[in-house]
Amino acid sequence: MENIIINQSVAILCDGNNIERSIHSESKSKNTMINFDTLIPKLLNGRGLNRLLYFREGKAISSKFAERLHENYYGSVIPCHKSADIPLSIKATQLASKVDTIIIMSGDSDFVELVHHLKAEGVRVEIAAVKSTTAQVLIEDADHFHEITNEDWFVYKAPKK
């Protein structure tokens, strides 16, 4: 039996506010940030990244963060008027025919209907989130759950002046 390499195309859609709140409550620090350099390769596990979109409510998006996402992963930060739920769901639906797998980075049970819809369209749906703040129904309905742990974040220390 020869080895067959399956080239899967993956889109990662991150509900920034949800993930940030989750890691802040777990780490007990407001300065905790996701370490995409360790998390993304772990989530992809050898699969190809089609795109990475970080949905963020509010104006306070670090331009350095946006630049790093773009340089390292051709990712983009998408500012949202209110919550990320609707823009993320629309984008996921648009990408459904273009990728094999969609990884939703959020523990929000609001995404359960989206998970059902995407799976019905033939897309593999994975959830990446902090387990203690993730809706159980989301974990159960996804094809796979990636637990985000303290190995996947770091505490940002502002440079001393």
pLDDT given at position 74 = 83
pLDDT confidence band for 105 (50 / 70 / 90)? very high
Given a cut of 90, whether residue 142 has pLDDT beyond it is yes
pLDDT in tens, 53-101: 999 987 667 788 889 898 888 889 998 888 899 999 999 999 999 999 9
DSSP codes joined into one string, 8-41: -EEEEEEEHHHHHHHHHHHHT-TTEEE-HHHHHH
| Tokens 């407001």, located at residue | 30
Instruction: Report how far residue 91's alpha carbon sits from residue 40's, in angstroms, rounded to the nearest whole number.
Output: 19
pLDDT given at position 1 = 53
pLDDT given at position 82 = 85
Residue-averaged pLDDT of the chain: 91
pLDDT confidence band for 113 (50 / 70 / 90)? very high
Given a cut of 60, whether residue 5 has pLDDT beyond it is no
Superfamily of domain covering 13-155: 5'-nuclease (3.40.50.1010)
Q: Is residue 79 within 8 Å of 61, Cβ to Cβ? A: yes
Domain boundaries, the chain: 13-155
